[in-house]
Every structure is written in structure tokens, then in C-alpha cells.
Amino acid sequence: MALPAASVSAAHPVPLPLDFDYVSDHSLYSKVVFRVYDASSFSPLICSGDQATSGFSSLSRNLGCLNLTALESGDGDIPEDEKSPWISTTKSLTWAVWEIARRLSVQKLEKPKSRPGVEPTVRMSVIKHRSGNVGLSDPRRAYLEAHVDATSPVANALRGARPGEFSHSMRRQCEQALRESRRSKEVLYYGRIFAESIDNETTWTVDRSGLALPAYFFRSPESPSSSRLIGRDGEDS
């Protein structure tokens, strides 16, 4: 999938080599995050041919359809709608691979019924995770491409809730969301992830991995393929 040509980034002058250890090390130092998605995802990658409008957009049409200049001029006066403004990513490459295995498993099960002739496919974007405007061709994006560690707001909401503020079912859902967010090392982006921040795009199928992976990810290391990936709970993809 081709993205519009981006300006050379001072942070990463060329895309990171698609080597597991190298990319994983960058994630440990919070230099990159990962977004796993497929055809069923609410916020797939958009390639419009224009860098300003390409990238990931939230479900909120009031945020997702706006380019950088429109976002800046409407800052503080962007109407809200009922759709979530958040786009989910992860700091953990290992969790991203597990999620890819899970999605491929689901697609394989559903394919005979709903997707005959369509090969199960999952994509993973490697996204440059910036602080301030380092490496940005347009420094306005430093505050427009906002991101937050997802666990803190949920944990704070639960701790600060008054008696009776949450129903039992809502509290249970929040606690489940908190567990999953911690497990995946989730990072939420607000509204947009611009094409300029997408360092690499990988495609995964049942027969092909988008990244050279260590042998411990596979049920049969002597015959590695995405169809033999071990998921986070030990299941095959």
C-alpha cells in the first residue's frame, strides 16, 4: 500500500528496517508504536493521494475528515458527535503480533461463510511516536497529533467515581477495558494519525508474515508462516 511521499524526517531519515529486534528496541524507547487493523476495523488506513488527508482517521467525522489546516483553524470549536475520537495503537510489538495471529484466526473461521475467495489479511503500521515537533515537516502537528497512555484516564475514572456513579455492569466493563489496555500497552491518538508519521506498512496473510519474526512466535519453528503463529493465549493463528 503506497502512501503519499513524505518530507524527510529528522528523527528517522529513512524507514526503519523491518527487523524484529531493531523495531522492538525502538518501541521500548517509545520511538514507535504499532497499529494493527483489517477490513473490519473502524479506522483503516486511508491513502487519498494527498499527504494532508492520508493516514488514520477516527470514527468522528468532524475530526476524521479535516486536514491539518482545518484542524488548526477549528481548534476549540470542532463540533462533537457520538463517534469515538480515539485511534488505538500499542507500544508492544509482541502484543501486536499476537493480535495479528488472533485476527487471522477469526478471518479463517469466518471466510467460508462471509468472505469466499478472499484471503485472510491483516495489516500493521509502524508509526513514529514523537514528543514535541522533532522530525515534523510542519510543527503544528506537535499538538494536533495528540496521544495519551490509555490506562491512566480509565484508572483515574474508576478511582475517582462517587458511590453509585457507575452501574455494576459499567464498572465491570471499565475494569475489563483497563486490564486489556494494560495488557496491550495501549496508546490512544486523538482524531488523526497523519501519513507523515507512518514509517512502514506491513501486510500479513496466512502464508506470509510482514516481518521476520523470532522462532519462538511459531508453533513449528522449522516451518514458519503466519498460519503457525502462536497467539497470546497459546492458540494457533
CB–CB of 186/34 below 8 Å? no
What average pLDDT does the segment 113-126 reach?
80
Domain count, the chain: 1
Question: In angstroms, how far apart are the furthest CA atoms of the chain?
Answer: 57
Confirm whether 120 is domain-assigned: yes
In a domain, 233, yes or no: no
The answer on pLDDT for 66 being more than 70 is no
**Listed ranges 51-55, 70-74, 91-95, 228-232; the one with the highest mean pLDDT:** 91-95
The gap between the terminal CA atoms of the chain, to the nearest Å, is: 23
**In the structure grid, which three cell numbers stand for residue 89, read together?**
495503537
Asked if residue 5 is part of any domain, the answer here is: no
* C-alpha count within 13 angstroms, C-beta hemisphere, residue 44: 11
Q: Is residue 7 part of a domain?
A: no
Q: Is the pTM of this model over 0.75?
A: no
Specify the pLDDT at position 89: 92
214 assigned to some structural domain: yes
Sequence-ordered alpha helix ranges (H) in 75-150: 93-114, 141-144
- For residue 158, being part of any structural domain is answered with no
More confident residue, 108 or 157: 108
